[in-house]
Amino acid sequence: MATNPVQSAQTKKRDPWIIRTYAGFGDARQANERFRRNLREGQRGLSIAFDLPTQNGYDPDAPLAMGEIGKAGVSIAHWRDMEQLLEGIPLEQINTSMTINATAPFILALYLVVAERQGVAWSELRGTTQNDLMKEFVARGTSIFSPEVSFRLSTELISFAVKHVPNWNPINCCGYHYMESGAGPAEEIGYAFGNAMLILDALRPTVSSEAFEQTVRRISFFINSGIELVPEICKVRAYFKLWPELCREEYGIDQVAFRAGCQVRSLTLTEQQPELNIIRVAYEALPVVISAGARVNALQLPGFREALGLPDQQEQLIGLRTQQILMHETGLGDYGDIFAGSRIIEELTAATAQTARRIALELRESGFGTAINLISEQLTRLLAARHARVESGEIIHVGVNAFTGEIGLTPAAAVADEVDYGALARERIDALREWRAQRDNAAVAAARERLARAVTSAGPTMPATLELARAGGTVGEWAETIECATTGRYAPPILDRAAPVQRFAVPATRRRIRIALGKAGLDGHINAIKLLAHACMQAGMEVILAGFKQTPAQLVESALQEDVDILAISSLAGAHLEIARVTLDLLKQRGAEHVKLVMGGIIPESDRDRLRDLGVKAVFTPKDSKLGAIIEQIIAVAEAHDA
C-alpha cells in the first residue's frame, strides 16, 4: 500500500508553524511529483507557484505565453490539470496556499471542482488564495483588469468563500512585495493593513453583521522578513499588536487573531557569493518564528541561488532542512514570548505600529484607486533611496559593496529539473487542443455567456465562474470573457516621471540618447526598470517607456515609432534567449539594425556570452548592481554606433 505523503510528514507533537516550500514547475504531473517528494521530506503544507501565463490569464497556446510555459511555476489551464496537480494528495488533510491573484476566482473554482471529484466537502478545505490586487498594481505586476474590475472580483471571491468555504482564507493581504520594492517595516505594515481595511469597508454594507465578523476573522496576511534582526522582530510584533487593535476600534470586533504566512526577503539575495544566501535566509527566518507571541502560521524559504534562476530540488531541500533545524534543534517551540518586557523591543514595536497605523488610515481614506498611485510613488522613492545607500556603502551588503570576491565553494551536484521547455510547450498546446475537442463546447459557451452577463449586470460572478470551471473552460477563456465584458486588459503606468527620487552617481551623456525601456514576457517585476529609467533621465537621456508584458514585436514597434538609439529589454522568467533571437530578427527584417539591443534581468552568467554572440550589445545581470556603471555601458553602446 502506498504511503500517504501527508500522513508521513506529520510529527509526534504539534509543530509551532507550518513548513512549506514554494514549488511548481513544468506541467501538472511534474509538479505533483515535486509536491509529493517534498511532503515525504517533511513539508506540511503546499505553496503552489503557477507559471506566468496562468497568473496572467493566458492559455498555453496564447502568443504571449511563448517561452514561459511551466517556467516560473506550474502550467494550469482547466480542472483536469488541477486534478493531476493534486493527484494522491487528499485535500481534506492538506493546507494549500496558492500564489494567484488576478485569476484567483477561476483557480479557486478549479480547486473546488477537484474537491468535488475527490468527494471532499468544501467545508473541510483549508488553505489560501492570495487574491491581493493592490500589490499587483504597485509591485508585482500580474494584474489583468482595471483597478475597479479587479477590486470587484477580489471582494466577490471573499464573500463567496466566507459563505461556502468557511475554513478557507480568501485573501492574503501582502506586505511581502512592498518590502521587496523598497518599503521599510512601517510602510510594509501600513500598506498591507490599509489595503485590508479598504476591502473590509467595501464588503461591510453587502453582508450581515454576522457574515462581516466572519469575514474579518478570515482575512490573512503574507509578510516579509528581512535581515535587520531587531527592526524585523519589532515589525512582526507590530503586525500582531496593531491588527487586533484596528479590528476592535474600526469595526467593533474583538479578539481578532493576526494570521500570516511568510517568505523571507529575496531582495537581499545576491548573485555574488551565492553561498552566503544560505546564511542570509536562515537569519531572515528568525524574526518570524523566534517568539511564540509573534510567530507566523506558515513559513517558506527561497532558494539560495534565486538571484541566478529558479530554485531546483536541491535548493528547496536546503530551505526545508533550514526550517527543520530551526523548529527541532533550536528549541524555539519550548518557550513563550521571550521579548516581553524588553525596553528596546517594546519601544521600537510601539513606534513602528504607530507609524503603520497612520499610513493604513491615510490609505483607507484615499480609496483603492488613489492608494495605488500613492503607494507606487512612495515605493519608487524608497527603492531609489535604498539603492543609493547600498551604492554609497552606507548599507553594507557583503559580497556586493564590501568583502567582495568569490568564495569558490562548489555545492553538491544539484538535482536538476531536467525539463525540455520547448517540448513541454508543444505538449501543453497539443493537450489543450485535445481537451477543447473532447469537452462539451456548448456547455462552455453557455457558461461564458452567463459569466459575461453576470459581469455586465453587476451580479455575482463566482457561480458563473464555477459553472465554467465544471464545464471544462480554461483560464484563458475565463479572462477573455471578463476582458470582453469590461474595458479589456489594463496597462498600468510603469512609473511617475515627476516622482522625487534620490540623485544617483551617473555619468552625463555627451549627446541626446533616446532609449526605450520595456519588459518582454509576462513577468511584472519592474523595480529595476524604475531605477534604470530615473538613472537614464538623470544622465540626460530621453527615456521612452515601452510598457511591460510586451511581445518582442510590440517592443520593436515602439522602438521604431520613437526612433530610438537603444532598445533595453528586461526579462526575468528564463525566456531571454528566445526574446533576444526574435527581437534581433525583427529589427533586421525592419531594416533597423542601427537600433542597438541591450538586455537585463535574472540571466545566468553562462548565457551572457550567448546573448552577446546573438548580437545583444550589453547584458546586465544581478552582479551589475551599480547604476553608474550600467549607464556608462549604455552610453558606450550609443557612442559605438556614432563611430
How high is the pLDDT of residue 152? 97
25-29, 110-114, 251-255 — which is least confidently predicted?
Answer: 25-29
How high is the pLDDT of residue 417? 55
User: What is the 8-class DSSP label of residue 622?
Assistant: T
| Closest-CA residue to 131 (of 109, 160, 151, 111) | 151
**What CATH number has the domain spanning 171-329+337-392?**
3.20.20.240
Task: Give me the mean pLDDT over the 25-38 stretch.
Answer: 93
CB atoms within 10 A of CB 63: 8
Start-end ranges of CATH 3.40.50.280 in the chain? 514-642
| Closest-CA residue to 179 (of 143, 137, 223) | 223
- Grade residue 13 by pLDDT with cuts at 50, 70 and 90: low
What residues does 299 pair with on adjacent strands?
A: 19, 262
- Grade residue 8 by pLDDT with cuts at 50, 70 and 90: very low
Task: Give me the mean pLDDT over the 108-125 stretch.
Answer: 98
- pLDDT per residue over 48-104, tens digit each? 999 999 999 999 999 889 888 998 899 999 999 999 999 999 999 999 999 999 999
- pLDDT per residue over 548-561, tens digit each? 888 899 999 999 99
Mean pLDDT, the chain, whole residue set: 92
- pLDDT per residue over 152-197, tens digit each? 999 999 999 999 999 999 999 999 999 999 999 999 999 999 999 9
pLDDT at 414 over 50: no
Place of cell 513539508: 43
User: What is the 8-class DSSP label of residue 140?
Assistant: I
pLDDT at 290 over 90: yes
Task: Give me the mean pLDDT over the 507-536 stretch.
Answer: 91
- pLDDT per residue over 485-511, tens digit each? 999 999 877 777 777 788 999 999 999
- Grade residue 112 by pLDDT with cuts at 50, 70 and 90: very high
How high is the pLDDT of residue 1? 40
How high is the pLDDT of residue 574? 72
CB atoms within 10 A of CB 255: 8
- pLDDT per residue over 304-338, tens digit each? 988 776 678 888 899 999 999 999 999 988 999 99
- Grade residue 23 by pLDDT with cuts at 50, 70 and 90: confident
What are the CA-CA distances from residue 608 to residues 68, 86, 568, 576, 611 (Å)?
19, 38, 15, 10, 5
- Grade residue 458 by pLDDT with cuts at 50, 70 and 90: confident
**What CATH number has the domain spanning 514-642?**
3.40.50.280
Task: Give me the mean pLDDT over the 389-394 stretch.
Answer: 90
Start-end ranges of CATH 3.20.20.240 in the chain? 171-329+337-392
CB 286 within 8 A of CB 234: no
pLDDT at 637 over 80: yes
pLDDT at 442 over 90: yes
pTM for the whole structure: 0.93
